[in-house]
Amino acid sequence: MAQRRLGQAEAIADPAVRAATIRTLHSAAVADEARAQTLAEQVQERVLQDGLTDPAQIPIREWVALDAERRQAIEDQLHAIKRGLQLANKMLPAKLPDAARWRAGCPGRWSAP
């Protein structure tokens, strides 16, 4: 759609009007890109902060507002997080030992019993 508008603007006979129209279209495209980037960053921040693993956890209004490239990048990130969580879950023992048994003398340090 932007290409069609640009083509229409380039067809304007008056050079001053043509230049002003192209500048306006360019400014609108830059603003649209900035909004899309900001939204993608907000969604990505939510994904990382909340540990989301499924696109269904993202509000639908935000999800459909993302362009296909950004949506795919976030889906890839969601799948990577999910794989990481699944890997972590597989590595954890079924029953975790009592923390007191594993606690060493100083906080933040752990050792086997």
C-beta separation of 81 from 51 below 8 A:
yes
- Report the DSSP beta bridge partners of residue 103: 110
pLDDT score for 31? 92
Q: What is the pLDDT of residues 36-50, one digit of tens each?
A: 889 988 888 888 888
> How far apart, in Å, are the Cα atoms of 79 and each of 72, 74, 98?
10, 9, 32
Residues 6+ apart with CB under 8 A from 37: none
pLDDT at 25 over 80: yes
pLDDT score for 23? 92
Tell me if the pTM is above 0.85.
no
pLDDT at 100 over 70: no
Mapped onto helix, strand or coil, the DSSP state of residue 71 is helix
Q: What is the pLDDT of residues 53-81, one digit of tens each?
A: 888 999 999 999 998 999 998 888 888 88
